[in-house]
Amino acid sequence: MDCAARKLYAAVAILALLLSPGCLGFHSRQQQPAELKEFKETVIAMDTLVTIALYVPSEEKAHKVFSEVRNELQRLEGILSAHQPGSDVIAISAAAGKEPVKVSPETLHVVQTALQYAHITQGAFDITVAPVLRLYNFDTNNPVRPSVRELERTLPLVDWRKVHVDEAQGTVFLSAEGMELDLGGVAKGYITDAAAEILLKNGVEFGSVNAGGDIRLLGPKPDGNPWRVGIKDPVNPGANNWFAIVEVRGGALVTSGDYERAFVEDGVRWHHIIDPASGLPASGASSVTVLAPTAEIADILSTALFVLGPEKGLELVESLPETEALIWARGEVFWSSGLIPQEGRGDVFYFTVKDK
Ligand code: ADP
Ligand code: MG
């Protein structure tokens, strides 16, 4: 496998995921075009803070784009949310074992993409994990460990092969009663791309969308410099506590961490990414960052690599075009061959991306 691994030393500072446009003290190589100004706005969608930054000539233009993004994210949330009454996701789950449900083209697309990657990842990514995930009560203040018996009873409901898409009819069908659709591992990435599409449609050349760590970047920065993205230390995920910084000039970068919605019991970290084979929290990694052309695919892969672990995960990533990964697992850091570590950048890992 063409990947590098390096021991991590306790002294290495690590932490949270944070988009850091130029706040690290490096100097710009060029000037930003004078007519462009930076505007930022944060909206809430899919229970996530989505921050949009863009460089445009006027405040009017920025407001127009922000308002279109807000409307689009609200519309998509109404379709894809697992909590909003009337969403496609809720309708599909309610009709499990009974009948196919006619859904919007967006839902059809997300489900089809998810199934394609379920296949590619040999089931590590599985949009039917909800009944098992529910056993853990992560959505409440009292998460619990399910009993072996509960897991055994529920696991048969987790099977992406029982999700049937009829493209001609525009329907999705879960073929066993009790199954539930869970787009939590892909929807955030999808809406991140959807927001970026609005920027592009409005002629915005330079900008970023950050949906709680699902990041899509347009262009390099207007001054020609790359964006620098900090990746949170999974061991101590406080603000601005990065274990790595990655320089990127566009595309998407998504991080999944086992420090989100987690609890520790008997020395084991119980968190919200589930290994569909066992129903237990995936133990393959503590932090996975994936770079890909779209946030939708990067989101799917960051969840899948958590389950696959660094060896199988990097083998998969090396087989996919324009895709890279940075993984913290078992106290070591692993990365794919297109990430180039830079020396002399202090005590955090610092990567650039190889030109294709
Ligand atoms: P986050 O939402 O914290 O950024 P992820 O993108 O990794 O993290 O998504 C985690 C969510 O994905 C879970 O809350 C759950 O809804 C869903 N999920 C958990 N395990 C899997 C899995 N093996 N395959 C697909 N989706 C999963
Ligand atoms: Mg994901």
Q: What is the DSSP letter of 162?
A: G
- Return d(Cα 334, Cα 284) in angstroms, integer: 12
pLDDT of 257 reads: 86
Least confident segment among 3-12, 72-81, 141-150, 298-307: 3-12
Rounded to two decimals, what is the model's pTM? 0.90
Residue 56, SS3 per DSSP: strand
Question: pLDDT: is 138 or 90 the higher one?
Answer: 90
Secondary structure element (H or E) that encloses residue 198, with its range: helix 187-201
**Lookup result for tokens 């899919």:** 46
Q: Is the CB of 260 under 6 A from ligand 1?
A: yes
The answer to whether the beta carbons of residues 45 and 191 sit under 8 Å apart is: yes
Looking at residue 139, its pLDDT comes to 79
Contacts 24+ apart (CB under 8 A), 315-319: 315/1, 316/120, 316/121, 317/290, 318/1, 318/2, 318/3
Q: How far is the CA of 69 from the centre of ligand 1 (A)?
A: 24
Report the phi/psi class of residue 221: left, alpha or beta, with left for phi > 0 and alpha for psi in -120 to 50.
beta
Q: How far is CA 214 from CA 46, 52, 140, 141, 315, in A?
A: 12, 12, 24, 25, 23
Q: What percent of the chain has pLDDT over 90?
A: 76
Residue 171's DSSP bridge partners are 102, 166
Each residue's pLDDT tens digit, 327-346: 999 889 999 999 999 987 77
What pLDDT digit, counting tens, does each position of 160-196 carry? 999 999 999 999 999 999 999 999 999 999 999 999 9
Distance CA 328, CA 17 (A): 13
Q: Which residue has the higher pLDDT, 292 or 16?
A: 292
| Residue located via tokens 């590590």 | 124
Backbone dihedral region for residue 65 (phi beyond 0: left; psi -120 to 50: alpha; all else: beta): alpha
24 with 262: CB under 8 angstroms? no
- pLDDT of 250 reads 96
How would you label 162-201 residue by residue, b for 16+ Cβ within 10 Å and e otherwise?
Answer: bbebeeeeebbbbeeeebbbbbbbbbbbbbbbbbbebbee
Is residue 77 within 8 A of residue 84, CB to CB? The reply is yes
**Is the shortest distance between the CB of 276 and ligand 1 below 6 Å?**
yes
Strand order across the 163-166 sheet:
101-102, 171-174, 163-166
- Cα of 117 vs centre of ligand 1, distance in Å, is 14
CA distance 137 to 127: 18
Task: Pick the ligand that lies closest to the CA of residue 273.
Answer: 1
Ligand 1 pocket, residue 221 CB under 6 Å? no
Confidence of residue 9 (pLDDT cuts 50, 70, 90): very low
pLDDT, mean of residues 29-48? 85
- Residue 60 in this model has a pLDDT that exceeds 80: yes
Which pLDDT score, from 0 to 100, does residue 346 have? 76
The arithmetic mean of pLDDT across residues 261-275, rounded, is 78
Residue 287: both structure tokens together: 């932090």
Kindly state if the Cβ of 211 falls inside 6 Å of ligand 1.
Answer: no
Q: Which residue has the tokens 């083998």?
A: 315
Tokens linked to 19:
């988009």
Type of residue found at 226: P
pLDDT higher than 50, residue 20: no
235-239, 313-317, 352-356, range with the lowest pLDDT: 235-239
Question: Going by CA atoms, what residue is nearest to atom 8 of ligand 1?
Answer: 256
Least confident of 109-113, 200-204, 213-217, 241-245: 241-245
According to the model, what pLDDT value does residue 307 have?
Answer: 96
Find the mean pLDDT for residues 200-218.
96
pLDDT at 131 over 60: yes
Cα distances (angstroms) measured from residue 210 to each of 92, 194, 347: 28, 12, 25
Rounded distance between C-alpha atoms, residue 40 and residue 86, angstroms:
31
Closest CA to 288 of 236, 250, 324: 324
The confidence score (pLDDT) of residue 343 equals 86
Mean pLDDT of the chain: 89
Range of weakest confidence among 20-24, 80-84, 131-135, 218-222: 20-24
| Cβ proximity of 351 and 247 under 8 Å | yes
Pocket of ligand 1 contains residue 192 by CB under 6 Å: no
Supply the pLDDT for residue 261: 65
Ligand 2 centroid–CA 302 distance in Å is 5
Q: Over range 213-235, report the average pLDDT.
A: 93
**What is the pLDDT, as a whole number, of residue 237?**
79
How confident is the model at residue 4, as a pLDDT? 35
Q: What is the pLDDT of residue 258?
A: 78
Asked if residue 44 has pLDDT above 90, the reply is yes
